[in-house]
Amino acid sequence: MKLLFKNASILMEDWSVLKDAFLGIDGDTICYIGQDRPQEDYDSEKDMSGKLLMPGIYNMHAHSPMSILRGIGSGLPLDKWLFDAIFPVEARMVPEDISVATRINLMEMIASGTVSFTDMYDQTWVTLDEVDKAGIKANLCRPIQCFDPNEKYEDNFRSKESIKLYHDINAMNNSRIKADFSIHAEYTNHPHIVAAYAEECNKLGGRVHLHLS
Ligand SMILES: [Zn+2]
């Protein structure tokens, strides 16, 4: 299937914009870019007058299921927003909430040109299922947290889920979806939990997604 975009403004690698241009696609490959009409035939043409063709956007940090929490605790400082407004609501979110909220976010991202995103959230298997169905690319992780300084690493269920998710995603062998490890943040963890988790992640050799400060 060969498709020709015409009358397009095309954002180039050097950030210049090629005006009134043609862009040809053959299957999943860009086969032509130029201001002269290509010689070969195309199966269909699409008029791009007034539109910009550009590379896909990569969203490097998201919490997709939070799309339905927008506005909650608005204006509060971070610690009050997170601990007093957001965490109590998140604790009541069921898989159906995660599913709907993720779908809302996926539709927004896809509609605005995002081709890949990196997501950090719990109940990650629900998000994984939605991403699998949507066709977008994603890096997914289940972040670890620890609020009890006496908690043993062996008892930290979030770490167990995080490592399990890593293995489950790798076992899917889906080239669109990658697994990351995740430490939610320094202020939502204790050093001995992070150290033990990091040791395990190092052995497995994956990437780590975290809030740095
Ligand atoms: Zn964040």
What is the whole-number distance in angstroms between the Cα of residue 149 and the centre of ligand 1? 23
Please tell me the distance from the alpha carbon of residue 5 to that of residue 113, in angstroms, as a whole number. 17
Distance CA(211)–CA(169), nearest Å, equals 22
**CA end-to-end span of the chain:** 48
Read off the pLDDT of residues 7-28 as tens digits, 9 standing for 90 and up: 999 999 899 999 999 999 999 8
- Give 119 Cα–ligand 1 centroid separation in angstroms: 9
* Closest to 69 in 3D by CA, of 92, 84, 89: 89
Q: Dump pLDDT digits (tens) for 170-179.
A: 999 999 999 9
- Ligand 1 midpoint to CA 210 (Å): 8
Local structure of 206: helix, strand or coil: coil
At 70-113, the pLDDT tens digits run 999 999 999 999 999 999 999 999 999 999 999 999 999 999 99
Q: Is 74 exposed, middle or buried (0-12, 13-18, 19+ CB in 10 A)?
A: exposed
**Distance in Å, CA 58 to ligand 1 centroid:** 15
Alpha helix (H) residue ranges in 112-204 = 124-134, 157-172, 191-204
pTM, 2 dp: 0.87
Q: How far is the CA of 99 from the centre of ligand 1 (A)?
A: 19
| Token output for 188 | 């939502």
How many angstroms separate the alpha carbon of residue 143 from the centre of ligand 1? 11
What residue ranges define each of the domains in the chain, with the CATH number in brackets?
2-53 (2.30.40.10), 57-211 (3.20.20.140)
Task: Give pLDDT tens digits for 48-69.
Answer: 999 999 999 999 999 999 999 9
With 0-12 / 13-18 / 19 or more C-beta atoms within 10 angstroms meaning exposed / middle / buried, residue 192 is middle
